[in-house]
Amino acid sequence: MALKTGPVPNEPGPSDIRGRVAELHSIREQALAGPSREATEAQHARGKLTPRERIELLLDPDSFHEVEPLRRHRATGFGMEMKKPYTDGVVTGWGTVEGRTVFVYAHDFRIFGGALGEAHATKIHKIMDMALSAGAPLVSLNDGAGARIQEGVSALAGYGGIFQRNTKASGVIPQISVMLGPCAGGAAYSPALTDFVFMVRDTSQMFITGPDVVKAVTGEEITQNGLGGADVHAETSGVAHFAYDDEETCLAEVRFLLTLLPQNNREAAPRARSGDPVERRSETLLDLVPADGNRPYDMVKVIEEIVDDGEYMEIHERWARNIICALGRLDGQVVGIVANQPQSLAGVLDIEASEKAARFVQWCDSFNIPIVTLLDVPGFLPGVDQEHGGIIRHGAKLLYAYCNATVPRVSLILRKAYGGAYIVMDSQSIGADLTYAWPTNEIAVMGAEGAANVIFRRQIAEAEDPETMRQKLVKEYKAELMHPYYAAERGLVDDVIDPTRTREVLIRSLAMLRSKHADLPSRKHGNPPQ
């Protein structure tokens, strides 16, 4: 398949302006059409769209302004001088989503397999710099095969420039990576530096070294999807935040996410008009959460009852399911929600849950999004694997993220809040602005059964009926130290509230905190646990 090279630059062109304009249109048509009809058909046969088709789905109609569509590489050798297609395999520019500016670049797999060369990288560098200067989100539509081997170290340097800009923009503008094809090596590192990663099943993969290299080095045989497909990264590695069945759905969800994000770290997230009354009470909440702390329930249903119109977007839904991270609205204001999920591992904190929540809290704080924390946590997950895996330092990541956050923070204890996990999940002692509890709350160092076994070990052992004595002492411990008002009496909870009024209480509290201002000590940056 031959790539179109366009007119030879040194050939004399038309002498009059109309002829020059006609020549311009001809060149633009070549750039817009891509390398060939056959290449486009092959892309569609793979179940993938072309870069311009993807951009049309992402942005508002007729809003895309392309930058450097006529750029071509300058490489020579290996026949490269005979293949100089316009765009050099990446389409860059800006447009709007719901009327708000968004910058975008999209790899063109039809040209050099979307591989990155010097000119290709320079175009991406330019659009990234423009996004940072304009203070607007950047979306990358990734469908590239890594560095362009024919250009050697120049291609690697191009990736370095992208990584440096990803890091510079981190916490300044939202960065979203959409994986729409195979992305290996350097092509996988840039998405890992961004805020959110979207993937499409069967057609997108991410890995540092492909199946062939894995087999040569380790002898393991595995497919591309088995090694780095969407489901692997959404469920096992946690690299992907979202996974969808097709590109159209994926890009529609990217648009929805963008409507929840601020343009940059100097602005608030866009507020929406809400027809959901602030004072709306939810009697359903009384039935959703069992008073018995050992019975599971679905925290997602609690969130649906609280947020505007039951609408929210869960982040990392299929990874570390024992904790929920989501974006939703309360009275039109975007909030980040962190909640234990009693339906999975009883809602304990483990290594993956700690990492997931820590990064989400840190991201919300970067972009001025208030954080609501819903607690029902029995503690950290015990076990040799957890201890040897570094649960101490991983749990400390979540502790650090909350302690470092200066956005409005409201926490609500629904049921259990035991031990160090209670402290870590945004307790008042680490800086929560307001802490509420339902009358079903139990805040303690540990559960009553375990506490009684420790405190009254000798009395239980010496009793004529140890089990009866144990049950009696458990009941006494609960009555003395774990009744619903114990923490409120000591000022560790600001109020014990009627569950049906949860939505109203949260909204009123966040409205009061809207003008909150907090300064951190002067420093270059902190040194969070790794």
Active-site amino acid positions: 185-186, 420-421
Residue of 79, 154, 81 whose CA lies nearest to 115: 154
Beta bridge partners of 337: 326, 372
Rounded distance between C-alpha atoms, residue 347 and residue 341, angstroms: 5
Collect all residues with Cβ–Cβ distance below 8 Å to 442 and sequence separation of at least 6: 293, 415, 416, 417, 418, 448, 478, 482, 484
Give residue 75's identity as a one-letter amino acid code: A
User: For residue 283, how many C-alpha atoms fall within 13 Å in the half-sphere facing its CB?
Assistant: 0
Give residue 243's identity as a one-letter amino acid code: A
Rounded distance between C-alpha atoms, residue 421 and residue 64, angstroms: 47
Residues 142 and 111 sit within 8 Å (Cβ to Cβ): no
What values do phi and psi take at 457, rounded to 5? -55, -50
Rounded distance between C-alpha atoms, residue 233 and residue 185, angstroms: 15
Q: Quick one: CA torsion of 335, 522, 160, 368, rounded to 10 degrees?
A: 10
Rounded distance between C-alpha atoms, residue 421 and residue 414, angstroms: 14
Residues 244 and 201 sit within 8 Å (Cβ to Cβ): yes
Rounded distance between C-alpha atoms, residue 366 and residue 261, angstroms: 11
The tokens of 213 are what? 């290299």
> Hey, how many other C-beta atoms are within 10 angstroms of the C-beta on 429?
11
Secondary structure of residue 144 in the 3-state scheme = coil
Rounded distance between C-alpha atoms, residue 363 and residue 337, angstroms: 12
Give alpha helix (H) positions in 433-491: 448-455, 457-462, 466-481, 486-489
Secondary structure of residue 314 in the 3-state scheme = strand
Q: Residue by residue, what is the 3-state secondary structure of 339-404? A: EECCCCHHHCECHHHHHHHHHHHHHHHHCCCCEEEEEEECCECCCHHHHHCCHHHHHHHHHHHHHH
> Hey, how many other C-beta atoms are within 10 angstroms of the C-beta on 268?
14
Residues 165 and 128 sit within 8 Å (Cβ to Cβ): yes
